[in-house]
Structure 1
Amino acid sequence: MNKSFYEKTSPENANINSKRIINFINRLEKEEVDMHSILIMRGNKLICEAYYNPFNSNTLHRMFSVTKSVVSMAIGALAEDGVIDLDASITKYFPEYEPEDGFYPYLIETTIRDMLSMTTPHNGTTFDKRSKNNWTESYFTKKPTHRPGTIFSYDTSASHVMAALVEKLTGLSLLDYLRTKGLSKVGFSNESYCISDGCGVSQGGSGMM
């Protein structure tokens, strides 16, 4: 985070009792919570900033599933620009992964909106995260378990496919595309990046650093 974007002030100037923050920090230490850093804000005002060794203000952390929200922002930007249709089948955008005997019917029914809401036809992630095989392709070749839009299931591979879609349509990495949409203007770290899968696609489900 670009902290220079925010005004630094005392808790009291933001109508917060500093003793409350001190009590909070003391409790973390008493309960031996393994902290990396603490940043507390109110509005655009940074009222507390602390780091625990060996971490500092320049340490990049893997944000894991926060990445999914960033992917959704990118998909929203593409939809707003009319590049994609949220109610179109996801198979429309990845014809290269169609098996010889065609896509599974439940996959053909699956829309981008289903992917975003995790009501996909898969009951979980379709790829092995330790594998260097094509994670995106696995989404279209693994047999679905149910009709899309009917069951919520935490499907990390759906977010990964969404990241692959962003990068396919824009020719940019996920974060670089969002930077063109103003991500840097809100203080987002210029050093941030996404870990890639074995095929060079940003890990849209968990890879943001």
Structure 2
Amino acid sequence: MNIYRELARNGSKIRSACAKSAIILFVSIAIFNFFGQNALAQAAVTDEDIDRFIQAKMEKNSIPGLSVAITRGDRVVLAKGYGKTDGQTPVSADTPFAVASLSKSFTAFAVMQLAEEGLIDLDAPLARYVKSFRLNDRRGSAITIRQLMKHTSGVTDTAYPDMTVNGGWNKADSAYRNTVDL
């Protein structure tokens, strides 16, 4: 089975999974903020307190399973899994989870920090910063960082054509021109 074909058929499930992944991230941050570094350092918060907090958030947000790691400095204070995977396997601290499209947010955040610091120009060609970036199509040299971040570069996916919108460059280029800049 082609994973990308399956992803295309189940788009709403994927969006739901991404939303749940985001919730996992925010639950982890909330745990840290809720209990705070000092509370963890003083052992005022027990593992049972954390368990109750996480399980309540999982129930409220219909999260079937998640893995949490709480650190203080370079020390892991708690690493534990909760719930089950889609295959009904119990989640452990070592259960791998797909990051999927969540990485786009982190990448965009880092790129925008670089742009704010004046270290990169969003409208400069990507090749200025990634010297090894080369496409067989001569138009590839004009692809900008902004276009990549907005998914309007016109780069088609020949490895997974079932995930590519027909129309290629012209359609994407037109969409870019009609899009309001960030």
TM-score normalised to the size of structure 1?
A: 0.38
Higher relative contact order (CA 8 A, sep 6+): 1
TM-score normalised to the size of structure 2?
A: 0.42
